[in-house]
Amino acid sequence: MSSNDCKESLSIRQATPSDVGVILELIHAIADYEKLSHQVTANEDTLRDSLFGPHPAAEVCLASWQGVVVGYAVFFHHFSTFEGQRGLYLEDIFIQPDFRGKGIGKALLRHLARLALERDCARFEWLVLDWNQPAMDFYRGLGAEILDDWKLCRMTASSIQKLAHSED
């Protein structure tokens, strides 16, 4: 397939409130791929409020192939104290398996890189699961550095509550 065929078949756009259903479908698809379906508690109401309510927590870009939504990227801004500037943080990127290898993932990342430049972001960052070697190879091929010296720290609702209500 030539790059012109890809350009004619692919479109990327910002999601709107009417896309909440398809966003939730893609969330379930990535969770299934990552074998984490049991962790999904999002529903259309929480997504509508979190993404399109008065204080949106994140943005979503949808990738369509020949008019059918086949992938997405969820992202938000974070802040680098060292740079003194905001950055773009990619929470999720997912392309339906039948549509991989068509340049859709690269096009989504290119779209986000352009947004990062437009928004004067000092960094564009994301995490990748340590078992997902195809993704790591893909990201390295785009010029991303995979940092080995940083580890993710996470607190879930019960841990947050425990810490917030502790006195000592």
pLDDT, one tens digit per residue, over 151-166 is 889 998 999 999 999 9
- Name the amino acid, one letter, at 112: L
For residue 149, pLDDT beyond 70: yes
Q: What is the pTM of this model?
A: 0.91
Interhelix angle 20-33/44-52, nearest 10 degrees:
110
pLDDT, one tens digit per residue, over 28-43 is 999 999 999 999 999 9
Contact 19, 59 (CB under 8 A): no
Residue among 75, 43, 53, 76 nearest 62 (CA) = 75
**Catalytic positions, written as ranges:** 139
> Which pLDDT score, from 0 to 100, does residue 36 have?
95
The average pLDDT across 112-141 equals: 95
Helix %, strand %, coil % of the chain (to 5): 40, 25, 35
The average pLDDT across 46-65 equals: 98
| Per-domain boundaries in the chain | 3-164
Spatial neighbors of 19 by CB under 8 A, at least 6 apart, are 60, 62, 69
Quickly name the fold that domain 3-164 has: Aminopeptidase (3.40.630)
The average pLDDT across 88-94 equals: 97
Q: 109-129 burial, b if ≥16 CB within 10 A, otherwise e?
A: bebbeebbeeeebeebbbeee
> Which pLDDT score, from 0 to 100, does residue 168 have?
80
